[in-house]
Chain A
């Protein structure tokens, strides 16, 4: 072999209970390449990287890093000493400290022996900035940085510790298209400098743009290994999911002739710990899907909480079918608004309760489910069994606890509860397919499209632009608690969408 191998994993297996997360996985990483590890959620990509980085102990197999055979148990600290570094999906930064201190934190020994010297540290970091091509102000506090820059700080942290192999876990999940492009050129630059880069992702387009080789994983096994230049998106997709994909796409329709079902005007909030709404206006139409694009944390969660009646408004008005709706006194749920929340585990389900209890939580007050003060057990059983059948929830058991179900089936429980009431008129779907496998994504999309065609009003909030573009009739962009633009979906392309998501205004774009 002409390239020198930096990392070699042979026959690596790891089980969690009965679940084989990794099953006899072989992986070789060559020096100075960008290797993409592609797979659906739960395919075992993260597990494999965590084994490599020493977070998990493998059950079987061998691991070699730069020619050193690694013992069965070793800590991330050892892995770091061997030149590995990992940038996690959730950043591990101290928000109240400046960039420079975050970079050296934990490795202060490299700049000072006894007394920490702020100025000397900044001198030292300059060469690091030049080497990496990342230029940040050392004194900016992390909390004032956009997410894209925070990720760069994570990468600088890794470089500062002298890493030679960089592992990135879903690095683009929180970035706008522009920031993503920026990140990619930065990674290419690092590769030119001799850095080896492993990138975990489930986005095909990124793989094709960035990587030299692709390792595709499916159900814990290696499903294929490709030279990026010799493969196609279709081939990768087929290898990743194991079958040909259909695709749910909406037939786009215009909203201009319709009168809106729900109009939000200048909504503001004050009580959220996250990003408060700052005069958000939005219109939703019957039989149409309005998609909200935006980087996470720009008020999406707050918007959903306002609609759920959890977060109080400080100002603004809500019009339902043209007449004023008093959010302080009534809940939109009474008027047929149902929410598919973004966080299944916290907002959508009570994990320790059974499937039946989770479904009944949405129908607990229905008279036909009662016998006096008690639940009518027969009625409940046939009702939940019917929904389990209709929504194809597997295994077909109402007695299992929600936490025993797979992610896709958990989402189906949520869908079964929220989308089966007869008075359903407005659906708010927030990140409805996050973390789902392809089959469950298709099911969720087909449900949304079905309700659209039946004339219901749908608000789709998603950070997945592919999803937004595939399903929406109109697209609105949320930035810093405001809708900056709402237009026909056809009027957007990726670039303009990206500019708006990054904070661009109508007059600038």
Chain B
């Protein structure tokens, strides 16, 4: 039953439009590459090969990006723009590293849960702060969350340099205790956190589509006037969206620290939060779509590492590609008109065939 509602016709149209936009972006990207005197086929080939051969790395990155995508999508459903994923991930990761590094007399699994919970609470405090400012004081949450990113980044740098420094040679925390770690997924280069992240995406979908609160949240985001008439508390729903978003981002950072790197290194999570915006956009804020788009984005990112090494094209090329994808998605007019032209050519051909 859920499957049939997922595969609804309008959703399939959205999905194929997204794929088309991605395809167009790759096409435009190849123009850039030709301009850079590189062979597009080779570059995309290398990217794809690298992503395929280190698919566990892709999944590890996708796990964080999934949570980062949710951090944008959930508030967006409630009508709020959380652009603070970047900072919230860092805060969550650092909190998890510090709490995970404590000597606590509790059983192994509980230490993990405790670290995750602390991270989630910090994330909620950060996004909730912007949310309350926006709802109570009418401070634009886009600006406050973006500003918070820098504040958190510099505080985090200070903290790993000084009080929480765990290594003489680099700005990073001490290794977390074994009892706080999330086990690796059958020895592969990603942890069980991936399963949990996917579970959270599905739960979010169920929450939005199958619960009264989810309906209230969507209604509040799509039409606040209507919602007031129906007795829905629009402000509370916006705040709820922000809180869930902040928690998701912080958990993303915490998952990677507890299940992957086992310590927090300064600037480790650079760009993850902003990638989340693109991922949510590609998925049309659909939590299930986020699973797919985050894996795609992770593949592009991982693949691009090999591109600069093997073809000499800068890794920044990926940023250009990402920008193109977003522009093409945000401005559907462009890809729509290209689709229309293709349709026209197709239809004309058919007519000729009939004659």
Binding site for B on A (CB under 8 A): 308-310, 331, 333, 339, 341, 346-353, 357, 360-362, 364-365, 370, 373-375, 377, 399, 401
Contacts of A361 in B (CB 8 A): 215-216, 219, 226, 230, 232
Residue of A nearest to B232 (CB): A361
Question: 10 A-B residue contacts at CB 8 Å?
Answer: A331-B231, A347-B226, A348-B226, A348-B229, A349-B226, A350-B226, A353-B219, A357-B219, A361-B215, A374-B210
Cross-interface CB contact of A333 among B215, B223, B231, cutoff 8 Å:
B231
Cross-chain contact A351 with B223 (CB below 8 angstroms): yes
Cross-chain contact B229 with A357 (CB below 8 angstroms): no
Does any Cβ of A come within 8 Å of B212's Cβ? yes
Cα distance A349–B219 in the bound complex, in angstroms: 9
Contacts of B210 in A (CB 8 A): 374-375, 377
Contacts of A362 in B (CB 8 A): 230
Most buried by A among B10, B215, B223, B226: B226
Cross-chain contact B230 with A357 (CB below 8 angstroms): no
Starting from the known contacts A346-B223, A401-B10, 19 additional A-B residue pairs (CB-CB under 8 Å) come to A308-B228, A310-B229, A331-B231, A333-B231, A346-B225, A347-B225, A347-B226, A349-B226, A350-B222, A351-B223, A357-B215, A361-B215, A361-B226, A364-B215, A365-B212, A375-B211, A375-B212, A377-B210, A399-B8
Most buried by A among B10, B210, B212, B229: B229
Does any Cβ of A come within 8 Å of B301's Cβ? no
A309-B225 CB under 8 A given contacts A365-B212, A373-B211, A377-B210: no
Contacts of A357 in B (CB 8 A): 215, 218-219
Contacts of B270 in A (CB 8 A): none
A374-B211 CB under 8 A given contacts A346-B223, A361-B230: yes
A350-B219 CB under 8 A given contacts A310-B228, A361-B230, A377-B1: yes
Contacts of B222 in A (CB 8 A): 350-353
Cα distance A370–B216 in the bound complex, in angstroms: 15
Q: Is the interface of B mostly helix, strand, loop or mixed?
A: helix
Give chain B interface residues in 205-237, CB to chain A under 8 Å: 206, 210-212, 215-216, 218-219, 222-223, 225-226, 228-232
Q: What's the nearest-Cβ distance from chain B to residue A368, in Å?
A: 13
Cross-chain contact A364 with B223 (CB below 8 angstroms): no
Cross-interface CB contact of A370 among B10, B212, B219, cutoff 8 Å:
B212
* Interface residues on chain B, size class: 20 to 34
Cross-chain contact A347 with B219 (CB below 8 angstroms): no
Contacts of A401 in B (CB 8 A): 10
Residue of B nearest to A378 (CB): B1
Cα distance A341–B229 in the bound complex, in angstroms: 9
Cross-chain contact B215 with A308 (CB below 8 angstroms): no
Residue of B nearest to A371 (CB): B210
Contacts of A348 in B (CB 8 A): 226, 229
Cα distance A310–B235 in the bound complex, in angstroms: 13
Cross-chain contact A374 with B206 (CB below 8 angstroms): yes
Cα distance A498–B231 in the bound complex, in angstroms: 36
Residue of B nearest to A310 (CB): B228
Contacts of B10 in A (CB 8 A): 401
Cα distance A353–B231 in the bound complex, in angstroms: 18
Contacts of A349 in B (CB 8 A): 223, 226
Cα distance A392–B236 in the bound complex, in angstroms: 36
Cα distance A370–B229 in the bound complex, in angstroms: 22
Most buried by B among A310, A349, A364: A364
Residue of B nearest to A365 (CB): B212
Cα distance A331–B1 in the bound complex, in angstroms: 37
Most buried by A among B1, B210, B218, B230: B230
Cα distance A339–B226 in the bound complex, in angstroms: 11
Cross-chain contact B231 with A309 (CB below 8 angstroms): yes
Contacts of B206 in A (CB 8 A): 374
Contacts of B232 in A (CB 8 A): 361
Cα distance A286–B348 in the bound complex, in angstroms: 65
Residue of A nearest to B5 (CB): A399
Cα distance A365–B10 in the bound complex, in angstroms: 28
Contacts of B8 in A (CB 8 A): 399
Cross-chain contact A353 with B218 (CB below 8 angstroms): yes
Cα distance A351–B222 in the bound complex, in angstroms: 8
Contacts of B215 in A (CB 8 A): 357, 360-361, 364, 375
Cα distance A310–B232 in the bound complex, in angstroms: 11
Cα distance A361–B226 in the bound complex, in angstroms: 10
Q: What's the nearest-Cβ distance from chain B to residue A242, in Å?
A: 33
Cα distance A349–B211 in the bound complex, in angstroms: 19
Contacts of B226 in A (CB 8 A): 346-350, 361
Cα distance A443–B2 in the bound complex, in angstroms: 35
Which 7 pairs between the two chains have the least Cβ-Cβ distance?
A: A364-B212, A350-B223, A310-B228, A346-B225, A350-B222, A374-B210, A347-B229
Contacts of B228 in A (CB 8 A): 308, 310
Cα distance A73–B222 in the bound complex, in angstroms: 36
Cα distance A401–B218 in the bound complex, in angstroms: 14
Q: What's the nearest-Cβ distance from chain A to residue B224, in Å?
A: 9
Give chain B interface residues in 3-40, CB to chain A under 8 Å: 8, 10
Cα distance A310–B216 in the bound complex, in angstroms: 17
Residue of A nearest to B224 (CB): A346
